[in-house]
Every structure is written in C-alpha cells, then in structure tokens.
Structure 1
C-alpha cells in the first residue's frame, strides 16, 4: 500500500504533521511545527517546505491558508495572514506549457516572498512568488498581489494596486480611537454587571 521511496517518505512526514496538527489549538500547533512560541496557527493551515519558512514573533495565520515556502518565505513580527489565503513561492507554468510537468522537473521556477513586520493580509488573498510586501502594509481581502507592495500602504484588487498611503501619525490616531471605543464598551458592560470576555463587547442598541 505504501511506497518506500525518498519522495513518498518525505511527503508522508508532512501528511502526518497535518493530521496531528488537527488535534491541537493554534498555539500548540505553532509549537509542534517549531515556530515561535508567540505564533498562532489556526486549523487546516498547510505549510509547504516548512524548513524554508522564517516566521517572526506574534504572527497569526488563519484557517485553510497555504504557505508555500519551497522558494523561501519570510514573515515579519506582528503580521497576520487571514483565512483561505495562498502564498506562492514557486510556479509550474513552464513545466505545464512544455509538457514536462513531472516530479523534479527543472522547469519549476522558484522565487522568495518576503512579508514585512506589522502587515495585515486580508482573507482570501493571493500573494504571488517573488513579491516583497513592506512593513506595516495592508492587503485588502480578495486581493491578488503580483508586484511589490510599499511599506505603510493599502493595496486592493486583482491585480492589487495602491489605494492609500499612511504614516505613524495616522496609525497612532487610529489606535487611540479604537482603544477609546473598546474602553467605552468595557465600561458599559461593567455598568450592566457583565464580565467582558473579549475586552470589547458591543454596545446595545439603546446605548447602554
């Protein structure tokens, strides 16, 4: 039933890791995969060639995301990648076009992807091989990123393009706004005698 060759045995190790990872929570799964203790990896995330993945601290990877690190993949500190995302570092296009799409084909092209620190990659987005995403960049959900993304910018669309640029002052102002809103929600919950679980329960329609 099982093939006893180098490729089969190598792939089987990944299959076993995926199976075992299905029984772990997000922190346990990251630890099991040898990633930083502060990393959280949600269920059904697949990492291709994990030995080529460099992951920073305090990263979050959503459900059903595929991280292809076969060509080299670096993800900076405090970066989140949403659910159902695809990050590619290789392509078999030429192997397909030349009818040479066999295992080990020398027409498989690989280029590294680098995602900076403090980035937010929205759900259902695709990052193509060879792309560099600068620090504190935002990729809107459902985007296809085919070119480098400048730091402190928001990109969206297919292919993704820059829609907004921001700076530290903008981020600071937005952080203060959200902290104030969450503090108000916590205060409202406490006034109702509730214990906020996530720190920011919604305000009721009556404003209480």
Structure 2
C-alpha cells in the first residue's frame, strides 16, 4: 500500500486503500478499506468504492457510482453514471481464460447509466447492460440486457421491466409494445 495523498481535498481515501499514482478520482468520491485503484483507472465524482474493491487498469467508472464490498472491476469494464454494483458481483474480461495465453484479448463489458447489478451476480464479458436495467442477485448474465429490463437466474432471463427508481412496472418478460 502507498501513502499517496488523496487526489483532491474532497476525495476520501481510507489509509488502508491503495490509489496508485496517476489514477483519476473525481471530487467527493469515497474509497474505503483495502480498496485498490490502479494507475490508469478513471473514477468519477461522488462515487463510493467499498471495502476490498479492485478497480483495474483502464477501467472507467462514471459519476455517482456505488460499488459495494468485494467487487473486482477488471480491465475492459465501463460503468456509466449512477450504476450500482452489489456486493461480491463479478465481472469477467476473457471468454477463454488460461494462465498463459499470448493471444489474449480483453473483451469489453458496458454497464449503462443507472443500471443495477445485484449481489453475487456474474457478468460474462462482451455484454451490454442497458440504462436503468436491473440484474437480480445471483444471476449469471451471458447476453445483453435491454434498457429498463429485469433479468434473473442462471443463465439470466427476462423477468419483467423496471422504472428509473427500480420499481417493477411489469412482469411480462416481453418488451412493451408502443
């Protein structure tokens, strides 16, 4: 761990956290116990980075994002503004992981504005979670999630639709017709 000063007077970095030199951290962000933010990561303003969160190199975290305890956000993941990530959620960045792979390429994942990822959910790389979508706790997301869609299960399947507050507005798994 480093004793690097907070990136800004309004940023709180717990003494046990490691924010590497070069990391960009926005105003009003709080980084809690044992978190690690890599040097090329960008974390927006007003975020809460929980205990034991790892924010890898090149990760982009928007403004007003809350990442709960024990989450690793690996390279290739982008979390837009106002995203919620529940405790112990998992992001992957490799379709064919091997300890040694000279041809390894990062497969990006995008979580759009206002989406919520439930506790212990797993997001397989290469997907997009739409604006204000909701992924239920424990789900394994292997496909894109539409904006405002509620998904649950393993693999995650459509279960309904939510509004911007997260209230379930329909249990019909099919998209609403105009």
TM-score norm. by structure 1 comes to 0.60
Cα distance in 2, alignment partners of residues 75 and 107 from structure 1: 26
Structure 2 spans left out of the alignment, 5+ residues = 3-12, 18-27, 168-178
Cα distance in 2, alignment partners of residues 21 and 143 from structure 1: 31
Aligned to 2:158: 162
CA contact 2:49–2:68 (8 Å) conserved in 1: yes
TM-score norm. by structure 2 comes to 0.69
- For 1:32-181, list aligned pairs within 5 A: 33=37, 35-49=43-57, 52-69=58-75, 72-93=76-97, 95=98, 101-102=99-100, 105-167=101-163, 171=165, 174=167
Q: Which has the higher strand share?
A: 2
Q: Secondary structure at the match of 2:31?
A: helix
Which among 10, 16, 27 is matched to residue 23 of structure 1? 16
Q: Which has the higher helix share?
A: 1
Q: CA RMSD in A?
A: 2.7
Q: 1:166 to 1:83 in 2, by over 3 A?
A: closer
Q: Secondary structure at the match of 2:152?
A: strand
Structure 1 spans left out of the alignment, 5+ residues = 1-15, 96-100, 175-208
| Count of matched residue positions in the alignment of Structure 1 and Structure 2 | 141
Aligned structure 1 segments of 4 or more residues deviating by more than 6 angstroms: none
Q: Which has the larger radius of gyration?
A: 1
